[in-house]
Amino acid sequence: MLRVVALALVLVACGKSDPRAAAASGSGEAGGPARADGPEVAADDQSRFDQERQPELLMRALGLKPGMTVADVGAGTGLLTVHIARAVFPGGHVVATDINPSVLEYLHARMEAAGFDTVVEPRVVQPAEPGLEADHYDLILLSQVDHYFDDRVAWLTKAAPALKATGRLAINNRMQHRAAAMAAAGSVGFQLVTEVNDLPGQFVAIFQRGPAPGRAPTPKGTP
């Protein structure tokens, strides 16, 4: 009972309802590769999310391309993940992490319904552990999740090695979390590449990795 109440609170916090309940209502969503047999997806759920969050603005800011590998940290039930999967398809891969295994079950159902279950890998992680492979990701996206971290600096320090040399970190959250997010990223050595503030009540800050700790940047032209 407690587990059900806890899950309901998380779903409300993330602005989502149960996609399987909506699936029973027979609504559907267009999007991924065609599927003949999958369950229907909650179009009303998705369209409410899309209206409120306007994820196309976030996708434009992120500049994702087919073939990219993305970590969607704190992915929840996958209402944003589906947009990321569509942007990196074909050839791309999304690792969708969350500390709550129950929301990842919903996420998996949503990806199956959209035909992106081979693109998106749900992964349960511990709160203080990013759980991401080293030197692997073109983008690590923290969307409306960094304010849950007990220690942003410690989390980002652990996550930084998961980026490829050319990889980027993107933090998207409500404006009231901007100052803490920017300070944490800066103190870990991330360098701000661009910031986009045209999303409703949200900021998007995109960073690249600074030089590895203990390694001085090489001057241009030096072998």
Give contact residues for ligand SAM (rule: CB under 6 A): 10, 13-14, 73-76, 79-80, 97-100, 103, 125, 127, 143-145, 148-149
Residue number, 72 or 138, with CB nearest to ligand SAM: 72
The least distance separating ligand SAM from the CB of residue 17, rounded to whole angstroms, comes to 13
Sign of the CA dihedral with 186 first, then 191, 195, and 199 last: negative
Residue number, 73 or 188, with CB nearest to ligand SAM: 73
Residue number, 6 or 179, with CB nearest to ligand SAM: 6
Nearest-angstrom CA–CA distance, 142 and 139: 10
The least distance separating ligand SAM from the CB of residue 75, rounded to whole angstroms, comes to 5
Residue number, 135 or 151, with CB nearest to ligand SAM: 151
Structure tokens at 55: 């994820």
The least distance separating ligand SAM from the CB of residue 126, rounded to whole angstroms, comes to 8
If DSSP codes are grouped into helix, strand and coil, which group holds residue 44?
helix
Do the Cβ atoms of 38 and 115 come closer than 8 Å? Answer: yes
91: Cβ–Cβ under 8 A, 6 or more apart, which residues?
A: 66, 67
